[in-house]
Structure 1
């Protein structure tokens, strides 16, 4: 490697050490080890180290085609130490402010969503539902009224026919009247028996 490449490599490794320190603080801030299961923390730690190892190797590959030297490890440690001594407190303060800003922004976005999208849509849906229920009630009342009118008209129209039928029935011979009564009683009994059998079958099916 030329001196220029070595210099750039050292600077990049020092920067990666600082980046690793900042990433570690960010990772610790969001992980919250005390409230996590040990197995989950273990897998998260492995994933963290693997990802940062790959990132470091990728940066090294871009700078000097992946040629690893011992002093590069020292550069990583120097960058990490520099971050711990000079930038840790500042970074953590900035991180907390960014987190607070993101939380506040999320609350504002949530309130805007509720005020602009959710509540108007909810109000429209409730209004449409109320309108549909009102129209259904009006329609049901109208149908009920028309049905009542039709029944009344039917009674008025059929009343003379009923009187004529009663008059004709009164003129029939007694033997014929008795036959009609027997037929009517037979049909009524048959209907009653059929109803009982239907109820028994229904109860058996429901028990199964």
Structure 2
């Protein structure tokens, strides 16, 4: 390994130490350990450390083909210590400002979508539903009125026939009327018997 490669490796590993410190603070800020279950925190910690290790090794591989030396770990620790001493407070403040900015942008976009997209669509849909309901009620009322008119017209059209039948019934001799009435009474009695028989049979079948 040449001297320039070693120097570049040192600088990159110091940068990775700084990056690790910033990543750790970011991770802790979003994890909120007190609100999480212990097993979930442990799992997240393991995944975080694995990802950080892979990033360090990948960066090291890009710089010096993955040649591990003792000073590499020293460089990472130096970078992490430098971050803790000089950059941590500034980074945390910047992180909070960035989070607040993102939240503000998100809320603004939500309000924008609510005002220009959601509410117009909601008003349009409710208006269409109200119009459809009104049209349906109007059609129902019109159909009901039309049906009444048709019934009245049919009754009016059948009225002359009713008068004619009444007149014919009056002209029929009394003995024929009596025969017709007897026949009607017999048929009515038989229909009543059939109805009772059917009801009794239905009750027996249900009891079975």
TM-score by length of 2: 0.89
Q: How many residue pairs align between the two structures?
A: 203
Aligned to 1:33: 33
2:181 corresponds to which of 167, 177, 184: 177
CA distance, structure 2, for counterparts of residue 142 and residue 28 of structure 1:
69
Which moved further from structure 2: 15-24 or 192-201? Answer: 192-201
Q: State whether structure 2 residue 191 is matched by structure 1 residue 187.
A: yes
Q: Gapped runs of 5+ residues in structure 1?
A: none
Q: Give the direction of change, closer, same or farther, for the CA distance of 1:191–1:122 in structure 2 (3 Å limit).
A: farther
Q: State whether structure 2 residue 12 is matched by structure 1 residue 12.
A: yes
Q: Give the direction of change, closer, same or farther, for the CA distance of 1:198–1:161 in structure 2 (3 Å limit).
A: farther
Aligned to 1:110: 110
Alignment of 1:47-196 (within 5 A): 47-170=47-170, 171=172, 172-187=176-191, 190=194
- Which of the two has higher C-alpha Rg? 2
Secondary structure at the aligned position of 1:68 is classed as coil
CA distance, structure 2, for counterparts of residue 149 and residue 200 of structure 1:
46
Q: How far off is 1:175 after superposition?
A: 2.0
Q: Give the direction of change, closer, same or farther, for the CA distance of 1:140–1:47 in structure 2 (3 Å limit).
A: same
CA distance, structure 1, for counterparts of residue 126 and residue 132 of structure 2:
10
4+ residue segments displaced more than 6 Å: 195-201
CA distance, structure 2, for counterparts of residue 129 and residue 196 of structure 1:
51
Q: Give the direction of change, closer, same or farther, for the CA distance of 1:115–1:193 in structure 2 (3 Å limit).
A: farther
Q: How far off is 1:17 after superposition?
A: 0.3
Q: Give the direction of change, closer, same or farther, for the CA distance of 1:178–1:113 in structure 2 (3 Å limit).
A: same
Q: Gapped runs of 5+ residues in structure 2?
A: none
